[in-house]
Amino acid sequence: MDIDELQDKLRNLRVDRNQSRYTVGKAPHKAFLLLSLTILDRHGKVDLDDLRPDIYLKQTWDDLWSVLDYPQPGSITQPLFHMRSDGFWNLQFSRPYTRTSSLKAFQEQLERASLDEGFQDILKDQDARNQVINTLLQEGGYFSPDESQRLRERLEELDDSFVYEERLVDELKKEFQMSWDVDLVAAKSVPMAAKRDPAFRRLVLNAYEETCAVCGMRIATSSGVTVIDAAHILPFNRFHNDDVRNGLSLCKTHHWLFDRGLLSADESYRILVSDDVEQDWPRGVVRSHHRKKLLLPQCPEEHPSELAMRWHSENVFR
Ligand SMILES: [Zn+2]
C-alpha cells in the first residue's frame, strides 16, 4: 500500500453519514482512533502489531474527543471493531465475537488487533505521517475547519506532553527532590499545564492501575473512561513537582479530602483520617480507612516519596 492508496482509504472510511449529533454529519470515531494511534506510535507508546486499549490509548482518545464540543462521550469500542471493514485493520478473536459496546467485553474477546504492515511503514516516515494526519483532519469530511484547527493544536500539545513524560520517567533514576527544577513561570502558565497534566495523569494512573490508593475504588465507563484522579502529594502550585513519586491516584472524594488536609498518610503509608471529619455516612465511609495501608503501585520505584508523604502529613493534614 502506498501513501496515495492509503489517503484514498482514509478519505473514504466507512462511517455513518447522518448522525445529527455530530456537526459535519460524518461520524468521526475512526478518525479519532487513527489520530490517537498515529501520535502514540510516534512516541513509542503503542504496539501497532498487537494493540491493547490501555491507559495510553484510552486517555489519548478521550483527550482528543473532549477537544470538540460533542454533547456526549464517544465509545472507542465502536471504531476498534468497525475499522476492520476499511482494508487496513486486522482483528482476531479468541472466540466467536458477540457484539458489544463495552470496551472491557471487547478486550475479553480480543486475541489480537493490528494495523496493516503497509500502513505501519507509512507512519515511519515523518512526511507521510503528517499527510495521514492532514487527510484525517481536513479531507475526510469528519471535521469542520474550526474543529480541525482545534484538534491540530491539541495534537501538538499532546506531542509535547509525551516529551515531558520522558523527562518525568528519567527523573525516576534520580533521588526524589522536594523542589523541582523547572522554569516556574512556564510551568504555571496555562499552555504548559495543557502539556504537563496529561503526562502526569498517564504515569500516575498507569502506576496505580486506575485505582484509588485509599479505598480501592475503580470506576470506568463502558468506553473505558475512568473517574479516578491523579493527585499531587506536594501541591503543584507550591512545589511544581510532577515526579510520579509525588503522585497518588485517588477517587474524587478522597482527592478532595486529601487536598484539604482531612486525609493523609504517614511515612510507612498508613492512612490518616482527620478528627475534623465529623459526618461520615454511610457509616465509616472515610474513617474506616484510618491506619490501613495505602494501595501502592506494583513497581517499588513508583511508590510515593516518603519525604513528600511526611511533608503532607505535617503541613497539610489537620
Ligand atoms: Zn477512594
Determine the pLDDT at residue 186: 55
Alpha carbon of 255 to ligand 1 centroid (Å): 8
Determine the pLDDT at residue 22: 59
Determine the pLDDT at residue 217: 94
* Residue showing cell 456526549: 72
Domain membership of residue 171 (yes or no) is no
Q: Indicate whether 130 and 242 sit together in one domain.
A: no
pTM to 2 decimal places = 0.91
Domain membership of residue 164 (yes or no) is no
* Residue showing cell 471487547: 106
DSSP 220: B
Domain membership of residue 167 (yes or no) is no
Sequence-separated (6 or more) residues with CB below 8 Å from residue 45: 56, 162
Alpha carbon of 289 to ligand 1 centroid (Å): 10
Q: Indicate whether 138 and 7 sit together in one domain.
A: yes
Alpha carbon of 161 to ligand 1 centroid (Å): 27
Determine the pLDDT at residue 161: 94
Determine the pLDDT at residue 182: 58
Q: Indicate whether 209 and 132 sit together in one domain.
A: no
Determine the pLDDT at residue 291: 96
Determine the pLDDT at residue 235: 93
Q: Indicate whether 128 and 9 sit together in one domain.
A: yes
Alpha carbon of 290 to ligand 1 centroid (Å): 13
Alpha carbon of 35 to ligand 1 centroid (Å): 33
Out of 159, 192, 224, pick the residue that ends a domain: 159
Calpha distance 128→116 (Å, rounded): 15
Alpha carbon of 193 to ligand 1 centroid (Å): 25
Q: Indicate whether 90 and 144 sit together in one domain.
A: yes
Determine the pLDDT at residue 238: 87
Domain membership of residue 187 (yes or no) is yes
Alpha carbon of 204 to ligand 1 centroid (Å): 15
Q: Indicate whether 220 and 304 sit together in one domain.
A: yes
Determine the pLDDT at residue 192: 83
Sequence-ordered alpha helix ranges (H) in 125-180: 126-134, 145-171
The residues of the chain scoring below 70 in pLDDT are 17-25, 180-191
Q: Indicate whether 83 and 37 sit together in one domain.
A: yes
Q: Indicate whether 95 and 226 sit together in one domain.
A: no
Alpha carbon of 258 to ligand 1 centroid (Å): 10
Alpha carbon of 149 to ligand 1 centroid (Å): 38
Alpha carbon of 215 to ligand 1 centroid (Å): 4
Domain membership of residue 219 (yes or no) is yes
Alpha carbon of 212 to ligand 1 centroid (Å): 5
Q: Indicate whether 155 and 187 sit together in one domain.
A: no
Alpha carbon of 318 to ligand 1 centroid (Å): 19
Calpha distance 202→207 (Å, rounded): 8
Q: Indicate whether 127 and 187 sit together in one domain.
A: no
For residue 216, the enclosing domain spans 182-315
Alpha carbon of 226 to ligand 1 centroid (Å): 13
Determine the pLDDT at residue 185: 43
Q: Indicate whether 187 and 155 sit together in one domain.
A: no
Q: Indicate whether 152 and 224 sit together in one domain.
A: no
Determine the pLDDT at residue 24: 55
Domain membership of residue 52 (yes or no) is yes
Task: Look up residue 307 and give its three cell numbers.
Answer: 519525604
Calpha distance 41→245 (Å, rounded): 26
Determine the pLDDT at residue 33: 97
Domain count of the fold of the chain: 2
Alpha carbon of 47 to ligand 1 centroid (Å): 32
Determine the pLDDT at residue 19: 57
Out of 159, 193, 219, pick the residue that ends a domain: 159
Domain membership of residue 285 (yes or no) is yes
In 3D space, the residue among 233, 200, 230, 256 whose CA is nearest the CA of residue 311 turns out to be: 233
Domain membership of residue 173 (yes or no) is no
Determine the pLDDT at residue 183: 56
